[in-house]
Structure 1
Amino acid sequence: MTLNELDLKTEYLSLDSEFYDLTDPTPLDDPYLISFNPKAAELIGLDSNSADDPRFVALLNGTFIPKGVRPFSMCYAGHQFGHYAPRLGDGRAVNLGSINGWHLQTKGSGETRYSRMADGRAALPSSIREYLMSEAMHHLGIPTTRALGIIGSETKIVRNQIERGAIVMRMSPSWVRFGTFEYFYYFKEYDKLRSLADYAIKESYPHLQKDEDRYYRFFCEVVERTAKLIAQWQGVGFSHGVMNTDNMSIAGLTIDYGPYAMLDDFNFGFVSNKSDRAGRYSYGDQPNVSYWNLTMLAKALSPLIDQERMQKKLDDYGNFLYPDAYIDVMREKLGLETKLEEDAELITSLVGALQDAYVDYTNFFRTLSRYDGERMPLYDIAMNPLVIHHWLDQYDQRLAKESRLQTERQEAMLKRNPKYVLKNYMLQDAITLAKKGDFSMVETLLYIASHPFDELPEFERFAKETPEEHKNLTLSCSS
């Protein structure tokens, strides 16, 4: 399919006009292509040679609008750092419509009705970070939005310093957020709340459409998907940084990559968001925050669903849905095929050991994936190997209760524990070069992001632990 053949649907526009605002994008000055993602293009059936078509840059820049498309921005509210904001919405994003189940959206396209006195632009650094990380998360097996491409420009915008404006074309199976439901609940527009629930069910949970108890079952499945998503974040060492309810996907996806980070040396209390001075969204608190966000969703859905029923499901989240999901993720990382009750204690002990060992989280598990009883490789990567030593005593005892061969365990672990994750210092190197007009590192990291479990000898340097001077970088929402 060529760009000229794009046929986008906009079913969201069938909802009441309060759900959105028709928005014309504001083009950037002198736009140019930074990167095109062929793997994302495949999802919508777009020819890979579209990257060479000038209309691709024009599509992202808003100067080429496919036939029949009515660009719009979505309205929603949300709890930001625990405080309710009654009207947020797409302050810098414009939706074009969907194709093959993927909704196309340009981020950084200028002011919208929901910009709240901001310029509606996205800076080059944050755009590169989102473009690359959404692809990385997908190939790590974590539900996420994707990105089709990114353009830069000569448009100057003011952030912590003068930056160049950029636009990312994001793709998602759904852009409905917890905060979308909150908007209509707090304004007591319950008919529209019901319409939104019906839309979200049709879009993301179509098997529930004819169920008489569909709203409750819808809530249950959102809770279950969220539990699995957060368990995957914790397992891979991903810190989202801004887990506001408006950044929580009703479809159980990772959305809105702002000041995120992959862990360097393991730190349970690591805070990736420089603006989060209280540490509300620390890595270790992500499971608790997701529960809190789900309670806000339950409140918003209370006109449709009995609260006591929802509370029982929320209790399940804390009692076993999330804990079991996390233990399952960690079992796979540890190569444990048999499920034993003692595994929870082993995993808890590991988290404590990693906290005290000052060891790179990703390197630890990749090295452990080749564990054959020889401990020196693990001692060599830890600043405090003694705690690793004591934990390995437990691990050896647990492995003795497994039935599969050591080689089979190692092979399985190498498929679950990535060799490559995109650390903030790598992304910063790509950003620094991109500001000079060199996009080679963007392409390199896009390739690495799509091969996280592979051995790539030419990129071995990206598998080493983060240089000391670059560890634990924090970012602001405008970074």
Structure 2
Amino acid sequence: MKLKELELNVDYFEFNEKLYQKLDATPLSKPKLISFNKQACDLINLDYEECESEEFIDFINGSNVLKGSVPYSMVYAGHQFGYFVPQLGDGRAINLGAVNGWHLQTKGSGITNYSRRGDGRAVLRSSIREYIMGEAMHALGVPTTRALAIIDSDTFAHREWEQESCSIVMRMSPSWIRIGTFEFFANTDNSKENLSQLADYVIKNTYPHLENENNKYEKMFYALVDNSAELLAKWQTYGFMHGVMNTDNFSMAGLTIDYGPFAFMDYFDKNCICNHTDSEGRYSYNNQPYVARWNLMVLAQALSEIANLEKMQDYLHAFLPQHENVYLQMMNKRIGLNPKNSGNNNLDLIVELLGALQSAQMDYNVFFHRLTNLESFDDISSITDIAVFRQSIEDWFESYKKVCEKDGSTFEDRRVIMKKINPKYIIKNYMLQDAIELAHEGDYTLVNDLLNIAQNPFDEHEAFEKYAQPTPMEYANTQLSCSS
């Protein structure tokens, strides 16, 4: 489909006009295309060659408004680091409308009514990180927003200690509604009516099978509990840390949204913190499932005018058991085991492994890739060679060997399982930094190379073999800021 044939649908204006703002983007100066995503083009039936045009760049930049589009920003509230903020919103994001069930949104398009004291811009480094990471998560089977394209510009913004070039990412999601959206609606005049209208909107977009159900608002909550339990299990399995799990960054569709100071863990540390403003470790790796449950409790309170609070609280008790069940299934696969064979979930073996990885100070995801390719218990040097301290890993292998022998699994049996879940490449922050530094010099080649690696993490990428190795220790588990 040609760009001019792409027609967007806006369905958000059924709400009271106080709950959104219609506005135009503030275009960047001299925009230039960094990259576009063919997989995302396929989702909205957009021809690839269209993405090389000036019209496409203007579309991302906000100066080319497509048919049917009425740009707007949403208001929402949220608990930030546990403290309620009554009004937040799309401070630098503008929604353009939906096509093929994908709601398009530009991030970095200028000041809105919800920018507070911000400038409405997103700088190049954070935009590159989000553009690539959404695709990396998708390739691993983790529910996430996607990205269509990213542009650079000659507009600059002040961040921390320097001026940085501004960028815009075109983001795509089945839904941009957050727990924080419900929090805001719950604190408005006519809150019951507004909440019902918002819940109906979420059900229509995300849970259409519930539209004609009795008690549909409770069932919407139950579905989000289920989706979130699985999402967090996948985050934990791959060592992903969101960094800012505020309720305004928590999706009603059970997706990973709002990539800020995120990270895939380098060496394993259950208390790892990837956000340097998170001084108390509220959003540390180990805390993420518990914070998710806390966020869902906040949602239950916000929904209490239109849904039965006691029923929602009762269902929430199932969150952690559901999460643990999915997590253990996935972790068994990461070590090549089928828990059905042994009649248990190998919890003790997995707990021992996590302790061993932490003691060994070993690259988390590289460990699993090398385990996938292990050919003998007599020579585990390909794994122990990347450990700072070896003994705990050697001890774990003794336990692992006994379980494998008891189950009667062979190296080939395990390899078949592991090859489907243990990628060779995980997008780490130091890799993204390499791409960012080149992009600041006007070289966007590595952005596109990392996009390809992110979308094909199980493949061989011979020119980038170095990225399949353990993260250099000087870059391992570094903390990032929320500045973007």
Output the TM-score relative to the length of structure 2. 0.97
Aligned twin of 2:203: 201
Aligned twin of 1:111: 111
Say whether 1:410 aligns with 2:415: yes
Query: What is the deviation of 1:342?
Result: 5.1
* Most deviating of 181-190 and 380-389: 181-190
Aligned twin of 2:267: 265
CA distance 1:220–1:403, shift in 2 (3 Å)? farther
Aligned twin of 1:63: 63
Query: What is the deviation of 1:117?
Result: 1.8
SS in 1 for 2:33: strand
SS in 1 for 2:68: coil
Moved beyond 4 Å, runs of 4+:
none
SS in 2 for 1:149: strand
* Aligned positions of 1:4-403 closer than 5 A: 4-160=4-160, 161-187=162-188, 189-318=191-320, 320-339=321-340, 340-341=343-344, 343-371=346-374, 372-373=376-377, 374-403=379-408
Structure 1 stretches lacking a partner, 5+ long: none
SS in 1 for 2:287: helix
Instruction: Tell me which of 442, 450, 459 is aligned to 1:445.
Output: 450
SS in 2 for 1:182: helix
Amino acid paired to 2:218: Y
Offset from partner CA, 1:430-459 (integer Å, 9 cap, x none)? 111101100011011011101111122222
SS in 1 for 2:60: helix
Aligned twin of 1:426: 431
Amino acid paired to 2:262: Y
SS in 2 for 1:283: coil
Within 1, Cα distance between the matches of 2:406 and 2:196? Answer: 51
Within 1, Cα distance between the matches of 2:84 and 2:334? Answer: 38
Query: Is the contact made by 1:378 and 1:385 (CA closer than 8 Å) also made in structure 2?
Result: no
Offset from partner CA, 1:32-51 (integer Å, 9 cap, x none)? 11111111111100001112
SS in 2 for 1:150: strand
SS in 2 for 1:193: helix
SS in 1 for 2:286: helix
Query: Is the contact made by 2:328 and 2:345 (CA closer than 8 Å) also made in structure 1?
Result: no
Query: Is the contact made by 2:61 and 2:109 (CA closer than 8 Å) also made in structure 1?
Result: yes
Query: Is the contact made by 1:26 and 1:109 (CA closer than 8 Å) also made in structure 2?
Result: yes
Query: What is the deviation of 1:11?
Result: 1.1
What is the percent sequence identity of the aligned residues? 50
Within 1, Cα distance between the matches of 2:187 and 2:13? Answer: 22
Query: Is the contact made by 1:156 and 1:162 (CA closer than 8 Å) also made in structure 2?
Result: yes
Output the TM-score relative to the length of structure 1. 0.98
Within 2, Cα distance between the matches of 1:476 and 1:456? Answer: 30
Query: Is the contact made by 1:419 and 1:452 (CA closer than 8 Å) also made in structure 2?
Result: yes
Within 1, Cα distance between the matches of 2:372 and 2:300? Answer: 40
Tell me the matched-pair count: 478
Within 2, Cα distance between the matches of 1:155 and 1:187? Answer: 37
Within 2, Cα distance between the matches of 1:271 and 1:112? Answer: 31
SS in 2 for 1:255: coil
Aligned twin of 1:436: 441
Offset from partner CA, 1:411-444 (integer Å, 9 cap, x none)? 2202201111111111111111101100011011
Query: What is the deviation of 1:272?
Result: 0.7
C-alpha root-mean-square deviation of aligned residues, in Å?
1.2
Amino acid paired to 2:4: N
Query: Is the contact made by 2:339 and 2:346 (CA closer than 8 Å) also made in structure 1?
Result: no
SS in 1 for 2:339: coil
Within 1, Cα distance between the matches of 2:315 and 2:469? Answer: 42
Query: Is the contact made by 2:215 and 2:307 (CA closer than 8 Å) also made in structure 1?
Result: no
Offset from partner CA, 1:355-384 (integer Å, 9 cap, x none)? 111000011011111233232222112111
SS in 2 for 1:136: helix
Offset from partner CA, 1:132-152 (integer Å, 9 cap, x none)? 111111111111000000001
Within 1, Cα distance between the matches of 2:184 and 2:291? Answer: 20
Query: What is the deviation of 1:404?
Result: 5.1
SS in 2 for 1:14: coil
Query: Is the contact made by 2:10 and 2:68 (CA closer than 8 Å) also made in structure 1?
Result: no
Query: Is the contact made by 1:230 and 1:286 (CA closer than 8 Å) also made in structure 2?
Result: yes
Amino acid paired to 2:463: E
SS in 1 for 2:26: coil
Amino acid paired to 1:449: A
Query: What is the deviation of 1:68?
Result: 2.6
Within 1, Cα distance between the matches of 2:193 and 2:358? Answer: 49
Say whether 1:469 aligns with 2:474: yes
Query: Is the contact made by 1:430 and 1:439 (CA closer than 8 Å) also made in structure 2?
Result: yes
Amino acid paired to 1:309: K
Query: Is the contact made by 2:178 and 2:249 (CA closer than 8 Å) also made in structure 1?
Result: yes
